[in-house]
Amino acid sequence: MLTIDNLKKHFGSVKAVDHVNLEIKEGEIVSIIGTNGAGKTTLVNLISGYIKPDSGRIQFLDKDITYAPPYVRIKLGVGRSFQLIQLFSNSTVLDNVRIALFSKYGMIRRGLLPADRYSSVTDEAIKILDSFSMSDKKNLTPKGLSEGDLKILDIAIAFALKSKLLLLDEPTSGVATNDKFKVMDSIVKAIKKEGISTLIIEHDMDIVSGYSDRVIVMHEGKVIAEGKPNEVMENKEVKATVFGIVS
């Protein structure tokens, strides 16, 4: 589904992403781990089109999207959430999801009928909120939500874009420890139901091993290990660079 060949992005002397190769298959949940500055978020920014690479190639569903603008990638089915939550702060929870749906369906050009008149979109937005157990908060603005709910809403927006590939940048950061699994359960349940491929950036190893089919480890812009969660955790190089355990 997603193939990355030799992708490179340097910021001056900093090698944020350095000749990275990776592949994500249909329906797979892959986690990327690594220390701060390993290049995880830069990689997600490159895949989502938020920044452009220096060289290399990104292929999604057999189409070259290396330099495609974000709206093209979204049309193809690449959606993302953010480490620092990005919401439409003055709109209700329902409208946050509805705007994404209007955009997905190319309806944002429609300028005279009120948004409320598009009842099929409203129903669909409520259904999406339902699948994330958030429909009871549909009339609140983001200011009235907990950190966990904000994260879920951020992901629900990406989900509303009917993404075939979801890029989730630290979906549980800032969420209280006892809410983390609740948040992840709700996200993974919705993802699995739709068979969406997912790339998760995560620091919490319990989350990584609990929800991922495969783990990719990055360090200083390079992929240093890849495999099943338990295999990767036992890798000596990973233990040394990511967990600081020298055996």
3-state class of 229 per DSSP? helix
Residues 86 to 105 in contact with another protein, rule: CB under 8 A = 86-91, 95, 98-100, 102-104
Size of the site for another protein (CB under 8 A): 37
With CB under 8 A as the contact rule, the residue among 46, 134, 161, 175 that binds another protein is 161
112 binds another protein (CB under 8 A): yes
The alpha carbons of the chain give a radius of gyration, in whole angstroms, of: 18
* Binding string, residues 6-45; x marks residues near another protein by CB under 8 A: ----------------------------------------
Q: Does 61 bind another protein (CB under 8 A)?
A: no
Q: How far is CA 16 from CA 2, 10, 77, 200, 220, in A?
A: 20, 5, 25, 18, 7
User: Which residue's CB is nearer to another protein, number 106 or number 244?
Assistant: 106
Q: Please provide the DSSP assignment of 39-80 as one string.
A: SHHHHHHHHHTSS--SEEEEEETTEE-TT--HHHHHHHTEEE
Q: Is 116 near another protein (CB under 8 A)?
A: yes
For another protein, give the closer residue by CB, 124 or 226.
124
Give 201 or 207: the residue with its C-beta nearer to another protein.
201
**DSSP percent split of the chain into helix, strand, coil, nearest 5:** 40, 25, 35
Let me know: does 170 contact 85? Beta carbons within 8 Å. Answer: no
CB nearer another protein, residue 122 or residue 197: 122
Q: How many Cα atoms are found within 13 Å in the side-chain-facing hemisphere of 213?
A: 14
CB-nearer residue toward another protein: 61 or 87: 87
Q: Give residues in contact with another protein (CB under 8 A).
A: 48-50, 69-71, 74-75, 80, 82, 86-91, 95, 98-100, 102-104, 107-118, 157, 161
